[in-house]
Structure 1
């Protein structure tokens, strides 16, 4: 069956909590990840919450990359959604694990837009 989109749910545990509070770091990390994946950025917005946590999204011509962090739990949730099956998603996954110093993580792919 042909999918219209591919949604990747990335769970990152035991991350460095200081990195998860740093909106500038996270913005740069996600924007670099978009570029390295082969996607085309068309916009972005990031917000730092008080007392802690960051949410951000990078809009790409193929859909979006987003991140939500819970520094108090050393946890980050990342969604990558694309209509382009050729993006380097595994490269992005490895980069996120390394940069956020996450020794425990998972990735789940969900095919979207499959008519049933």
Structure 2
């Protein structure tokens, strides 16, 4: 089965990096990651359509990266498309995630150009939650269960 490209999308929630408005720093980080992974950058653009939203678009030799950054929400939407059968967009994605330090991540990986069966076309979706967030979520669930028991008695 021939795969034409690999496509990773990720939602980065509650990013702990306080420099989400520093476009120059973010662009430098992206350029360094691309250089480290030996991925050629052809061009880039940064737009700020509204004050609380920044858009990064990087055109690569074989693919692209886009970031939609909402600093007030501490949210980043990431899209990485690499046009190689053996591409590893998750390496690039992991480096970007390390910079933003999100509490929760939801990723989807697609094999683009996969002309297999419909069952094989289903994307893989992974959700990761930072350890402290897991503890908080578990504690909140326990409190809700105990509150329901007390209310029903």
TM-score by length of 1: 0.84
Larger Rg, first or second structure (1 or 2) = 2
TM-score, normalized by length of structure 2? 0.66
Question: Which deviates the most, 82-91 or 26-35?
Answer: 82-91
Question: Which structure's residues are more often strand, by fraction?
Answer: 1
Unaligned runs of 5+ residues in structure 1 are none
RMSD: 2.0
Query: Do the aligned residues in 2 keep the contact of 1:20 with 1:53 (CA within 8 Å)?
Result: no
Between Structure 1 and Structure 2, the one with more helix by share is 2
**1:53 aligned residue:** 53
Alignment of 1:3-14 (within 5 A): 3-14=3-14
Offset at 1:3?
1.3
- Count of residue pairs brought into register by the alignment: 116
For structure 2, list consecutive stretches of 5 or more residues without a partner in the other structure. 117-153
Report the CA distance shift for 1:9/1:26 in structure 2 as closer, same or farther (over 3 A). same
Give the secondary-structure state (helix, strand or coil) at the position aligned to 2:50: coil
1:115 deviation in Å?
2.8
How does 1:27-38 map onto structure 2 within 5 Å? 27-38=27-38
